[in-house]
Amino acid sequence: MHEWDFAATLADMDFLLLGLWNTMRVFALALLFGIPLGLCIALGRMSRIPVLSQVSSLVIEFFRTTPPLVQLFWFFFALPILISVQMTPFVASVITFSIQSSAFFAEIFRGGINSIDKGQWEAAKAIGMSRRDSLRRIILPQAVKRMIPAFAERSIELLKTTTLISTVSYADLMFQANELASKTFRPLEVYTVVAVMYFFLILVFSQLTILLEYRLAKSGEGTLR
Amino acid sequence: MQHNWNFASVFAYWDVLLIGLWGTVYIFAITCVLGLGFGLVVGMMRYSKAWWISYPARVFVEVFRNTPVLVQIIWFFFALPVVTGVEVSAFTAAALGITLNTIAFSAEVFRGGIQSIEREQWEAGKAIGMNYAQTMRRIILYQALKRMLPPLTSRGIEVFKMSTLASVVAYSETLHQAKLIASYEFNPIEAYTVVAIMFFLVLLPLVQLTYVLERRFGKSD
């Protein structure tokens, strides 16, 4: 029977916390780029110009149907050769997850915008607003509120997906765990601690989502799923 | 620099890719069937009024929904053998991780679907003398399944994509085989492009199917 011994793992906790910090960095940057990009793609998809909307749908479908790990490998191993630039694991991860999540965010934006009553568009038009003005001032502020739970859910998915960057040797929490496990010969303790760390990290986010949804429900807004 | 695309160097290894494709389909089939099957069981447990049934189910769902699948696969592959003293194969570790994750996610879909059926349907079942199991099987599940079809199809698509994670523990699915080809022929561009397009072509019809299902079952009943 195995004797549990967490001493070696806990002694190197700062090593794991560095990994956690790196995970959060990629996560934050992917959100920062992914959300605006998602809005652009969503607007592209809803555009009246056929070419633009077809290209946008293709981008959305492509990045939603291909596995994130394949995309990551492509951006890390294939793209640098194709355009002959140096690609660090960090840059490749941020690019991959920004684009990958933007495809999902685009669908949330589109759902949110479509869920706003047509009358709102007409009202904006009636007081002389252009399509762009009405989108910015009337439609989006209402739509975003409905989209928040879906956004939060997607962000949690993104956080879980960031574990993949360990496969291109970026020092995220998962990668640090692999290193530590082979250094200490204590895979059981290391991976258990890391699993618990991920669990609580994601649990905090998902509890916040539930709280947010509860508050939105109370303020009488229908939420989008 | 202009890259000369050379897909012939990938397709020359079609037999290697074919092994990968089979590996993907195999692990997908097993994890999908087990995941959805046990997901239904856990979902019904979640719905139960007895706390000693619903509480363990809830803990299970929270644990496996709130940990990344890759962490689970790595845990089963490297840590589980230490606990049990039994060697865990790459396939077992990957299949276990993906299955448990699918159970947790689909359990919530099943629970949501069962909950969405109106109370009157339960009462109607009781009124004509059906017991709990009969009402569940013949009245509730039958109607709920229709509403659950779109989210369950999306889950299936996610499971198919998740199968690529098995490559991390060197199970020979499509991505792993492409990695082999890429390292042998130095053609990562073509190898990974082919894999991306393969997944796209397989899953695109399924995604279209979810749109159709959503339109048909999502709104009306």
pLDDT at A101: 95
Does residue A216 register a pLDDT over 80?
A: no
- The shortest CB-CB distance from A78 to any of B168, B193, B203 is to B193
Does residue A135 register a pLDDT over 80?
A: yes
Range of the domain at B29: 8-220
User: Scanning every residue of chain A, which has its alpha carbon at the shortest distance from the alpha carbon of B156?
Assistant: A65
Region A82-105 average pLDDT: 93
Apex CA B172: angle with CA B169 and CA B178, to 5°? 105
> What gap in Å lies between CA B82 and CA B88, rounded to an integer?
10
User: Scanning every residue of chain B, which has its alpha carbon at the shortest distance from the alpha carbon of A68?
Assistant: B161
Region B87-112 average pLDDT: 94
Single out the residue of A199, A203, A172 nearest to residue A22, CA to CA. A172
Does residue A219 register a pLDDT over 70?
A: no
Instruction: Work out the pLDDT band at A199, boundaries 50, 70, 90.
Output: very high
Apex CA A66: angle with CA B99 and CA A172, to 5°? 70
Region A6-31 average pLDDT: 91
Please provide the DSSP assignment of chain A as one string.
-PPP--HHHHHTHHHHHHHHHHHHHHHHHHHHHHHHHHHHHHHHHH-SSHHHHHHHHHHHHHHHHS-HHHHHHIIIIIHHHHHT----HHHHHHHHHHHHHHHHHHHHHHHHHHHS-HHHHHHHHHTT--HHHHIIIIIHHHHHHHHHHHHHHHHHHHHHHGGGGGGGT--SHHHHHHHHHHHHT-HHHHHHHHHHHHHHHHHHHHHHHHHHHHHHHHTT-----
Neighbours of B216 (CB within 10 A): 12
What is the average pLDDT value for chain B, to the nearest integer?
90
Is B140 contained in some domain? yes
CB within 8 Å of A62: residues ≥ 6 apart:
A103, B196, B200
Is B78 contained in some domain? yes
* Cβ separation A67–B68 shorter than 8 A: no
Q: How confident is the model over B32-64, as pLDDT tens digits?
A: 999 999 999 999 999 888 999 999 999 999 999
Region A177-203 average pLDDT: 92
pLDDT at B1: 55
Q: How confident is the model over B174-217, as pLDDT tens digits?
A: 999 999 999 888 888 899 999 999 999 999 999 888 888 888 87
Interface check for B58 against chain A (CB to CB < 8 A): the answer is no
Is B3 contained in some domain? no
Give contacts of B155 with chain A, Cβ < 8 Å: none
Interface check for B3 against chain A (CB to CB < 8 A): the answer is yes
Region A67-85 average pLDDT: 91
Interface check for B175 against chain A (CB to CB < 8 A): the answer is yes
> What gap in Å lies between CA A9 and CA A183, rounded to an integer?
10
Give contacts of A104 with chain B, Cβ < 8 Å: none
Give contacts of B68 with chain A, Cβ < 8 Å: 159-161, 163, 174, 198, 202
With a pLDDT cut of 90, the percent of chain A lying above it is 63
> What gap in Å lies between CA A202 and CA A13, rounded to an integer?
19
Region A91-103 average pLDDT: 95
- The shortest CB-CB distance from A70 to any of B3, B189, B199 is to B199
CATH number at residue B23: 1.10.3720.10
**Sign of CA pseudo-dihedral B171, B177, B181, B187:** negative
Region B113-117 average pLDDT: 89
pLDDT at B104: 95
> What gap in Å lies between CA A65 and CA B9, rounded to an integer?
25
Pairs of residues, one from chain A and one from chain B, whose beta carbons lie less than 8 Å apart: 113
Does residue A7 register a pLDDT over 90?
A: no
Does residue A76 register a pLDDT over 60?
A: yes
Does residue B221 register a pLDDT over 60?
A: no
CA A41 to mean position of chain CA atoms: 15
Give contacts of B70 with chain A, Cβ < 8 Å: 163-164, 166, 174
* Cβ separation B188–A81 shorter than 8 A: yes
* Cβ separation B157–A65 shorter than 8 A: yes
- The shortest CB-CB distance from A70 to any of B72, B164, B204 is to B164
Region A14-29 average pLDDT: 94
Is B171 contained in some domain? yes
Does residue B101 register a pLDDT over 50?
A: yes
Does residue A165 register a pLDDT over 80?
A: yes
Give contacts of B62 with chain A, Cβ < 8 Å: 203
CB within 8 Å of B152: residues ≥ 6 apart:
B36, B106, B109
Does residue A220 register a pLDDT over 80?
A: no
pLDDT at B219: 55
> What gap in Å lies between CA B180 and CA B191, rounded to an integer?
9
Is B115 contained in some domain? yes
pLDDT at A225: 44
Whether this model's ipTM surpasses 0.95 comes out as: no
- The shortest CB-CB distance from A2 to any of B67, B69, B83 is to B83
Structure tokens at A157: 């998915």
Is B43 contained in some domain? yes
Is B1 contained in some domain? no
Torsion of CA A98, A100, A105, A107, to 10 degrees: 150
CB within 8 Å of A2: residues ≥ 6 apart:
A188, B82, B83, B85
Give contacts of B200 with chain A, Cβ < 8 Å: 61-62, 65-66
A16-20, A142-146, A172-176, B154-158: range with lowest mean pLDDT = A142-146
Give contacts of A178 with chain B, Cβ < 8 Å: 74
Is B170 contained in some domain? yes
Is 0.90 topped by the overall pTM?
no
pLDDT at A73: 93
Count the domains in chain B: 1
